[in-house]
A = this chain, B = another copy of it.
Amino acid sequence: MSFFHLENNDSQARAGLITLHNNRTIRTPVFMPVGTRGTVKAISQQELRELDIEIILCNTYHLYLRPGHQLIEQTSSGLHKFISWDRGILTDSGGYQVYSLAPLRKISEEGVFFKSHIDGSAHLLTPEKSIEIQRSLNSDIVMCFDECPGLPAPYEILDKSVELTARWAKRCLSVPLNKGQNIFAIIQGGLNLDLRMKSLELLKDSDNDNAFAGYALGGLSVGEKNEEMVELCEKFVPHMPKNKPRYLMGVGTPLDILRGISNGIDMFDCVLPCRNARNGQAFTTRGPLNIKNSRFTMDTGPLDPDCECKVCKNYSRTYLRHLYLVGEYLAGQLLTYHNLHFYTQMVRQAREAILQNKFKEYFERFLVNYSSARWTS
């Protein structure tokens, strides 16, 4: 069984199947909920399974600092057993978190020196070290350690980062992985199409013996305008290898994801459905709504009348609003469950539409519904 099987193309949109070690499969396009510290916030692994979620993302930076990758390896031979999750796990490289969270960092050819955001302790993260940590975590999909400049950034900075990222990717490949682990390359280059092409070519140079199982687009959703990201994807994604999964890192809103799919992206991750749930925002087929809104005070309807999830079947907006306003745990738990159901259903329905060559119609219908109510206005 090959790692990625492309089932259908509908214009640029793709439906495929990723097969992990032990024949676990992931239907694409796929949205991966973020389980930063080994848990998707406010939801249990049983419920993730109930939602038919096939893969989650965990953060190498956080798990390296607490509880430490050695503890996870020694007690549980990896993350799966440690967190009690036998489905897919993708770990990021730790690079992005170092850039966005660590209070002090110095980038050199060797790697990134940083101080922990927790206790100020000093650490050096190199490409080799990142892969070794991810090997200890024994994730199914390992990400290369890249350099990710914020946007906007001048051409020279982006060019340097493209080249450094390519040299680091080569060093990442030098570290052996566990049986069943797969490594993805990360393409940099900001919003510049030429630099993205250069980054891709440099990475492909290291990929002669099919070392990379997939290619990710890094360095997006880091400060640029949404249209700029969409435009870059539209122009660049078709150039990415067709026989491997394409992963748009850290994206995004429901519309970002559907646009990504229509441009040929297969994988997404984002904290949005979970973080916004804890802040009272529910995604619905008729657009996002904020449960704080006083218009829901006496509203006995479900969050989303068109949703089949257990939250919508059992709980009313008036109750959820009450829970949120008094600061009860259950508000975050129930909204998280609903939002992950919404994201998962959305990409599953997109997949079905692609398989039937009807993605464009699906997307258009989604858009009409999604803008039919403006709850948050």
Residue A117 interfacial (CB < 8 Å): no
Residue A297 at the B interface, CB < 8 A? yes
B84 touches A322 (CB 8 A): no
Are B316 and A82 in contact, with the CB atoms below 8 A? yes
Given contacts A37-B326, A71-B298, A333-B329, contact A318 B82 (CB under 8 A): yes
By a CB distance below 8 angstroms, the chain B residues around A71 are: 297-298, 318, 322
| Residue among A44, A297, A300, A316 having the largest count of chain B Cβ atoms under 10 Å | A44
On whether the beta carbons of B318 and A66 are closer than 8 Å, the reply is: no
Question: How many copies of the chain does the oligomer comprise?
Answer: 2
- Whether, in the assembled complex, A42 has its beta carbon less than 8 Å from a beta carbon of chain B, the answer is yes
Q: Is A116 an interface residue (CB 8 A)?
A: no
Query: A328 at the A/B interface (Cβ < 8 Å)?
Result: yes
Interface size on A, residues (CB 8 A): 39
Which A residues between 51 and 91 are near B, CB-CB below 8 angstroms?
62, 66-67, 71, 74-76, 82-84
Decide yes or no whether A330 CB sits under 8 A from chain B: yes
**B84 contacts A319, C-beta separation under 8 Å:** yes
- With most chain B CB atoms within 10 A of its CB, the pick from A316, A323, A326 is A326
Q: Is A45 an interface residue (CB 8 A)?
A: yes
Using a CB-CB cutoff of 8 Å, which residues 19-45 of chain A contact chain B?
37-39, 41-45
A322 and B38 contact, Cβ closer than 8 Å, known pairs A71-B298, A300-B75? yes
Q: Which residues of the other chain, B, contact A37 by a CB distance below 8 angstroms? A: 322-323, 326, 328
A210 interface contact, C-beta 8 A: no
Which A-B residue pairs are the 6 nearest by beta carbons?
A42-B329, A67-B322, A39-B330, A84-B314, A75-B318, A37-B326
5 residue pairs of the A-B complex, CB under 8 angstroms, read A37-B328, A41-B328, A67-B297, A84-B319, A333-B333
